[in-house]
A and B are shown apart, each in its own frame.
Chain A
Amino acid sequence: DTAVSQTPKYLVTQMGNDKSIKCEQNLGHDTMYWYKQDSKKFLKIMFSYNNKELIINETVPNRFSPKSPDKAHLNLHINSLELGDSAVYFCASSQDYTKDEQFFGPGTRLTVL
C-alpha cells in the first residue's frame, strides 16, 4: 500500500530526447509537488499543484512542464533533455498546501547521456 509512487525508478536517455515521469498518491491529499535533488543532494522545489491547479512555479526552464490530470496524479514532462537535467526527481504530497507534513515518493533517477 504505497503512499506516493513514481515511475520509472531509473531513466537513462540521450540529450535532446523528451521524457515523462509519473507520480501517483493514494493518501487522498489535495497538494502535490515536484522536487529536484542534484548530485550534491540539494533538494529544491520545482512545482506544486493544489487540487489540479498550479500554485508554485519556481524558476525552472520551460522545458519542464507539469501536468495534473486529477488530484491523485502529477506528471512531469521534460522536453529537449540536457546533461544538467541529470538528477533525482522526487514527487511529494501533503493534505493541502497549508498542512505541514509532505510525504515523498521513492524518487526517479534521471541520467542524460
Chain B
Amino acid sequence: QQQVKQSPQSLIVQKGGISIINCAYENTAFDYFPWYQQFPGKGPALLIAIRPDVSEKKEGRFTISFNKSAKQFSLHIMDSQPGDSATYFCAARKGGKLIFGQGTELSVKP
C-alpha cells in the first residue's frame, strides 16, 4: 500500500517556466512533509519542508503548498533552471519514519 502518491513520474519544463509536482497522502498522523532533491549518483538532500499547520512555505524559488483537508501538498519551482534538473521526492513522516513518494524526474530544457 503506497501511503504517499506522487505525480507526475516525469516532467519536462522550459527554462524560466514553473515546475509543479503533486503529492497525496492517506494517513492523517503524518506530522512533517519534506521535499528532497536527488542528483544522479548522489544521495537525496532536503530542499524544503512544511508542517500541517501551515498552508504555504516559500524559500527562494521553491514553494510548498499544503492542503490539509484534501491531504495533498505540492512543490512549485518558479523560474526553473537547467541546474534544477534532478529527481524530486515528496515524503511524509510518522513516528520518526519517512515515507517517500515514487519520485519525479524533472528535466529543464535550456
Contacts and interface: CB of A to CB of B under 8 A. Distances in A.
B34 A43 contact: no
A36 to B, nearest CB: 11
Nearest to A43: B100
B49 to A, nearest CB: 6
B103 A104 contact: no
Nearest to A50: B96
Contact of A106 (B43, B49, B89, B105): B43
Contact of A56 (B34, B49, B96): B96
A43 B89 contact: yes
Nearest to A48: B96
Contacts of B74: none
User: Does more than half of chain B's interface fall in helix, strand or loop, or is it mixed?
Assistant: strand
A40 B46 CA distance: 20
Interface string B68-82: 000000000000000
Contact of B49 (A31, A100, A103): A100
B103 A101 contact: no
A45 B98 contact: yes
Contact of B102 (A42, A102, A103, A107): A42
B87 A41 contact: yes
B61 interface: no
Interface string A63-74: 000000000000
Which interface residue of A42, A43, A97, A105 has the most chain B CB atoms within 10 A? A43
Contacts of A113: none
Given A43-B100, A45-B98, A48-B97, A100 B43 contact: no
B63 to A, nearest CB: 18
Given A43-B89, A45-B97, A106 B103 contact: no
Interface of A: 4, 31, 40-45, 48, 50, 55-56, 90, 92, 97-98, 100-107
Interface of B: 32, 34, 36, 38, 41-46, 49, 87, 89, 93, 96-100, 102-103, 105
